[in-house]
């Protein structure tokens, strides 16, 4: 490994440990995270939950091999203080938002549990791969209950139930110098289908994975969010005794809201004139809201008639 730091915040790191049949992702969000959070005045507990979700989305999105693929993480419930949380990742572009009930949220403690925030709900993780299904593409969605102490635990359950891949995930959220900083690590055993490996859940012993998992558990939340600790140094601290560890630095991530006035206008123009009239307000504008970036786009009926 290189002795000089190579990775910075908002730039995911991929790594693999060939002898242990393991692969991993590390990410630390700073500028991108604060740009996304600044679109809404989230209460602290909602901000922390959304920050955790954005890290998870970054980690899962970094596993996509096709630049045109998209990863969407959605947590939803009908009876929670947070009614819905949505994040997605596409080719390094990240976005997310949360809907919540301020009154119900005010009744909760500052350290509210996952069940306290969402109640009985579900976590859906959707992989959209642009390639045809015959080439490993298409859409795949896994849904699991929102159970555990955190979204991180619920996501780990997703891999155990839907993917059946041994997975370790740890996420940390902190405030440093007045900014929200969130980071996470995802480490997996290579899944079935890669060089004919069998799934570990059918085996009675898997010392290679246990070795990797035990080492991974020594990583503290403080190390994850420490801006002075480069991501490759974290990998080095965990796995420096292994014969070979490969790292790959991904491109810088960006805030990925894809709302576009021209696209919005073209979509509305496809509706019949009668339906457009029903959508308009008293001033003759059809107002479209983007939940991700908290922007509004007024489209006048007069301009659509031209």
Which domains does the chain show, CATH number per domain?
13-255 (3.55.30.10), 261-305 (3.90.1280.10)
The pLDDT assigned to 162 comes to 80
152 versus 201: the higher-pLDDT residue is 152
Give CA angle at 88 (83, 90), nearest 5°: 170
Sign of the C-alpha dihedral, residues 126, 113, 35, 265? positive
Confidence of residue 82 (pLDDT cuts 50, 70, 90): very high
Q: pLDDT tens digits for 251-266?
A: 889 887 777 777 777 8
When mean pLDDT is compared over 4-8, 24-28, 132-136, the highest value belongs to 24-28
Highest mean pLDDT among 43-52, 63-72, 276-285: 43-52
Give percent of the chain above pLDDT 90.
48
Rg (CA), the chain: 21
pLDDT at 59: 95
* More confident position, 12 or 132: 12
Residue 260 has a pLDDT of 72
Residue 77 dihedral angles phi and psi, to the nearest 5°: -155, 165
**pLDDT higher than 80, residue 51:** yes
Chain centroid to CA 186: how far? 12
Average pLDDT in the 194-218 region? 67
For residue 192, pLDDT over 60 is answered with no
- Name 288's bridge partners: 297
Residue range 109-131, pLDDT digits in tens? 888 889 999 998 999 999 987 66
Is pLDDT at 25 greater than 50 in this prediction?
yes
**Nearest C-alpha neighbor of 44 from the set 177, 180, 147:** 180
- Which of 135 and 49 is assigned the larger pLDDT? 49
| pLDDT score at 29 | 96
The β-bridge partners of 185 are 26, 170
Q: Which pLDDT does position 136 carry in this prediction?
A: 57
Q: 62 near 84, Cβ under 8 Å? A: no
Q: 76 pLDDT exceeds 80?
A: yes
54 class by beta-carbon count within 10 Å (0-12 exposed, 13-18 middle, 19+ buried): buried
The answer on pLDDT for 200 being more than 90 is: no
State pTM to two decimals.
0.84
% the chain with pLDDT above 70 = 89
In whole angstroms, give the CA distance from residue 175 to residue 86: 22
CB 55 within 8 A of CB 114: no
Would you say residue 149 has pLDDT above 70?
yes
**In a 10 Å sphere around its CB, with 0-12 CB exposed, 13-18 middle and 19+ buried, how is residue 263 labelled?**
exposed
pLDDT at 202 over 70: no
Taking 80 as the threshold, does the pLDDT of residue 105 lie above it? Answer: yes
| 203 pLDDT tier (thresholds 50, 70, 90) | very low
Supply the pLDDT for residue 133: 55
SS3 180: strand
pLDDT of 306: 62
Average pLDDT over residues 216-222: 96
Residue with the bigger pLDDT between 65 and 47: it is 47
* pLDDT higher than threshold 80 for residue 245: yes
- Mean pLDDT over the full length of the chain: 85
What pLDDT shows up at residue 3?
41
Q: What CA–CA distances, in Å, run from 202 to 104, 187, 199, 239, 261?
A: 44, 19, 6, 26, 52
Output phi, psi for 234, to 5 deg.
-65, -45
Our CA angle for 35, 40, 46, nearest 5°, is 100
């Amino acid at each position: 490994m290189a002795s000089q730091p190579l990775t910075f915040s908002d730039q995911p790191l991929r790594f693999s440990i060939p002898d242990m049949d393991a692969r991993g992702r590390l990410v630390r969000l700073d500028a991108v995270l604060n740009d996304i959070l600044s679109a809404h005045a989230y209460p602290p507990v909602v901000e922390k939950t959304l920050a955790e979700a954005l890290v998870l989305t970054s980690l899962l999105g970094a596993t996509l091999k096709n630049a045109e693929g998209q990863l969407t993480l959605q947590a939803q419930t009908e009876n929670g203080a947070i009614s819905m949380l949505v994040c997605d990742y596409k080719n390094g572009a990240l976005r997310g938002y949360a809907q919540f009930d301020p009154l119900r949220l005010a009744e909760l403690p500052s350290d509210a549990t996952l069940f306290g925030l969402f109640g009985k709900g579900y976590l859906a993780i959707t992989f959209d791969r642009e390639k045809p299904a015959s080439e490993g593409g298409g859409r795949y969605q896994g849904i699991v209950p929102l159970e555990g102490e955190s979204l991180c635990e619920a996501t780990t359950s997703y891999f155990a139930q839907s993917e059946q891949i041994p997975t370790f995930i740890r996420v940390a959220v902190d405030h440093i110098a007045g900014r929200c900083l969130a980071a996470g690590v995802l480490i997996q055993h290579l899944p079935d289908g890669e060089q004919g490996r069998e799934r570990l859940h059918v085996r009675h012993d898997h010392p290679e994975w246990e070795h990797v998992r035990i080492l991974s558990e020594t990583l503290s939340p403080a190390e994850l969010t420490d801006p002075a600790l480069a991501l490759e140094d974290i990998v080095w601290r965990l796995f420096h005794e292994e014969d070979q560890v490969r790292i790959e630095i991904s491109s810088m991530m960006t805030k990925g809201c894809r709302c576009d006035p021209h696209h919005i206008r073209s979509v509305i123009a496809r509706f019949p004139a009668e339906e457009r009239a029903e959508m308009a307000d008293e001033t003759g504008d059809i107002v479209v809201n983007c939940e991700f970036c908290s922007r509004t786009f007024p489209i006048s009926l007069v301009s659509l008639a031209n």
